Structure 1
Amino acid sequence: MSEKVKVIKVIKEGDIYFATIENNPFYPDGKGGQLGDRGKIDTVDVLNTPETGVVLSKHLNPGEYFYEIDEKRRFDIAQQHTAQHILSAAFERIASLKTVSFKMGEEYSTIDLDEQNIGEEMLNKAEELSNDIISKCIEVEEIFTDKEGAQKYNLRKPLSDKVSGQVRLIKIDDFDISACGGFHVKNTGNINLLKITNTERVKGNLTRVYFLAGLRAIKDYSQKDSILKNISFILTSGLYDLENKVEILLNENKDYKNRIKKLAEKMAYHLSKDLIQKAVVVNNNKVVYHKKEDETADFLHKYVNLKDYTLIIEDEKNKTFSIVSNNINCKELIDKLKMNNNIKGGGSEVRGNISGDIKFKDILKILEK
């Protein structure tokens, strides 16, 4: 901490302390789509940096204090921001796709492109071109000019009509030049790596591209590499055989599930006979009740004559009841239960489900009426 900042006033707003600062040196959150600064004023942490001041972790009296800006965070922001310029320029060069918005987050960053159908091949080309520019260690130039001077350059994005006064341009050789007031690295090599991690369609006709750059991309690679190695160890498979191994396991699992399903249905046939013998008669209604333990319960309705019996299955784990019957009106029964108990549910005349704080005996009481 070698420089000082003047705190004009501090106001407590709920659980936070909002400070107004003279000539605020902290870059604000969200400006130009990027993250804002963090750091300290005296020994107090700067938690957020809105346009109009800073949010502190505790109270400070007005006065002059030494301050510190988190330079490691600034460098991370610079890596992400310059990477965005490169990635946006890459998409424009490869497929004439325009970046309509950019957002930097604490974990990842995104750009929205004006196209809804972007294939894997195009994504790979944009990523490859971006990393090629990064690997060439091109100087990232700052050019300060006015609006008239800026318009002489072949800007990737035209200047807004609202722009006035001095304009700062970020130039990466002849690959990209854009107006920008945010943080940037001095050399594209400082970014190290750019990785596209995901895409999704947004707002109907746009594609959102998720990406990581710099240390974020390296950490992501390291974490995924560790996960793959652990999975490889668990499955006793070589790393490059994992895909085939997983496919085999999924097919085996599907086969086992089908076998279990068939066995459960056979079990349901035999179980239904025992349950019918134990049926409870309530007001001329014969009720077959079963507490679900496995998939067998899912097939009982096939083997209980629903014209003569009402089948009630309790899933104690999920606190639900399934009611199936052609003998009573299930919808009417559930409506009555909802009037007298703290439950949710619904269904048709022949089938319904309820959940909540209710017991089997509570259902029987309604059937008795």
Structure 2
Amino acid sequence: MATNIALGNAMEVLQHLGDAKPPWDAFLQTSKTLLGADAAAFMMFDGEQKLDLIKHSDSDNSSFREYLDHYYQHDAIAQAASKSPAGQWWDSAELSRAPEARKLPFYADFMPRHRLGQVTALILLAEPGRRMAVSFHRMTARPNTVEEFAKGNARIFTEALLRAVKARVKGADVQLSAIESALSSIDEVVFLVNKNADLMRCSPAAYDFLAEAKMLSPTRRGLTHDVPKVMHSLLQALSMALATSRPQQYCVPLSWGVGVRFDITAAPLNLKFYNESLLLLRARKTSAFDVPDAAELATFFGLTVAEARVLLRLVEGHSPKDIAVANAVAERTVRNQIASLMVKMSCTRLSELVRLGSLLR
């Protein structure tokens, strides 16, 4: 009876893994109770197998600080599971049977000092740039734990958990596709990257955009650039967006007068699985040769048709004298129109007028 109640509680929590803010504390508590563990932890690693985040339940905080600072690099389970598919279980008791494994600091030092008799872990997500797992800790090891979890209530829970993970990932894909569809009419694309500029979610249109800009790595798994300094600056912009939670902008040069403009923001919760370090990039090509339409300028700034044409010429780089010759009018006429533009657009210098008119590029 108690096991059925535990299964019911755990399954109820799984129904909320698709929420904007999933109940991770409740997930860890109910799942460890169902599986008979003393503690549980949720972990995410990036494409370089570096620990991105960890959330734990009923464990000593000092042990997890040690794990984060040092021991995760020697975690035998994390190493063994680095290339395994989603749905696979790993057991420290089985891995430690190898003599070389028992010499690892994770087994020889970390586990004994923190009274960890056994750690079992389930791979939840296995992507090139992101891996996710949930682990369960016991003070006393049990034999044949993986076989035990492959049947009964544990199996029912595991299969439901993996389905919930897939559903959340698919939901994020659908939402990202909706955003890109809305931007496609203005030739913009969006995609998700991690702090290392690895592509986490990228549509065919975004792949084509990056390939044309020669910013797609040979493996098609990350952003790149032929100039190391440019790539370094882009990575800095990504780090700044994560560290400050403030939008960043960065323009990557492609050729003279042409570049790609990136608007960088921390990815919203509904596009992430938990609180991993993901960024949403909105990209579009920019060109110094692009100019706004005269009608757009007239509408946006409340100008006459003649004033809008003068402003357009100024934005294109022409002088008042050039504009007068092109329009077959006196230069004084053009300068009077410029004076009117400055009043209407609240500018005091010609350079301000040009800069403001360029906003519609």
Say which one has the larger Rg. Answer: 1
Tell whether the structures are fold-level matches, with TM greater than 0.5: no
- TM class, shorter-chain normalised? under 0.3
Normalized per residue, the structure richer in helix is 2
TM-score by length of 1: 0.23
Normalized per residue, the structure richer in strand is 1
